[in-house]
Amino acid sequence: MQQRLAVVTGGMGGLGETISTKMAGAGYRVVVTYSPSNTKYRAWLEEMKGRGHSFSAYPVDVVNYDDCARKCAQIQGECGPIDILVNNAGITRDMTFKKMTKAAWDEVMRTNLDSCFNMTKQVMDGMIERGWGRVVNVSSVNGQKGAFGQTNYSAAKAGIHGFTKALALEVARKNVTVNTISPGYIGTQMVTAIPKEILDSKILPQIPLGRLGKPAEVAGLIIYLCSEEAAFVTGANISINGGQHMY
C-alpha cells in the first residue's frame, strides 16, 4: 500500500517542525505548508534535507479560503490524495480585553479557527470518497481553561474543538476521524525564550510534572491519532499538558 500523505499546516514552526519530522520518520509522506510571508523557507528545506528529510513545501495563506483551495488542489495534483491533515497553524496577539483591538481579535480568529475550515473543506470530500481519513486539530490548554490576556486566542482554540466534535459526527461512518489535541506549555523555541525566572516562578509551578512538554511528545500523540490503532477515537479532545489542567 502506498504511504499515506499528510499535510501539516505551519509545518516549519517550532512544534510544526517536530510534527513534520516525526511523521516522516514514522513512514508518512509529509507536505508542509508555510506562510507566504516566510522568507526563510528555502534555508529550512535545506536544513531538513541535511537531516535526511526531503519535504514538499507550499506557501499557503490559511486565512484565505481561495488560496487554500488552489494550493490543496496543487498538492493533490503533484503529490497525490491528502489522507491526513494536521491543522497546526496558529498565532498569538496577546493583550488584555481592555486593550484588545478588533484587528488583533480578527487576526487570531482567522488564523487559528477559520484556517481549520479553510483547509479541512478542501480535503474532506476526498477522504469520504476513499473511505479513510484523519484530521487532527491543534488547540491549546488555554482553550480549555482560559488565560489572562488571551480572550482572542482562548476563544479561537475553544472553537476548534466545537468544530471537531460536529464534523466528527458527520463523517464517522465513512471511516474518517476528527480529533483535537490540547497541548500545554511545550518546550518550543518560543516558550524557551521566556526568561528563566518567569518559567521557574510562574509557569513550571502550574505543571504537576514539573517540566515543559517535549515537542516530540506532542508529535507522538498526533502519530497515534493518525494510525490504524486509533480508528475508534474520534471527536476527542486529548490533553497533553503535564497535569496542568484536568477535567
Give a yes or no: residue 94 inside a domain: yes
Query: pTM of the predicted model, to two decimals?
Result: 0.96
Query: Domain for residue 70, yes or no?
Result: yes
- Tens-place pLDDT, residues 47-93: 999 999 999 999 999 999 999 999 999 999 999 999 999 999 999 99
Give a yes or no: residue 245 inside a domain.
Answer: no
Domain total of the chain: 1
In a domain, 104, yes or no: yes
- Domain annotation covers residue 190: yes
Domain that includes residue 149, residue range = 5-238
Confirm whether 56 is domain-assigned. yes
The x, y and z cell numbers of residue 111, run together, are 488564523
Say how far apart CA 118 and CA 55 lie, in whole Å: 22
- Residue 153 a catalytic site member: yes
CA distance 75 to 156: 27
Catalytic residue from among 28, 34, 58, 153 = 153
The amino acid present at 64, given as its one-letter code, is N
Does residue 244 belong to any structural domain of this protein?
A: no
66 lies in a domain? Answer: yes
Residue 44 has pLDDT above 80, yes or no: yes
Contact 234, 179 (CB under 8 A): yes
Q: Residue 104 has what pLDDT?
A: 98
Q: Return the percentage of the chain with pLDDT > 70, whole number.
A: 99
Nearest Cα neighbor of 167 from 135, 144, 141 is 135
Task: Check which CATH number belongs to the domain holding 56 and give it.
Answer: 3.40.50.720
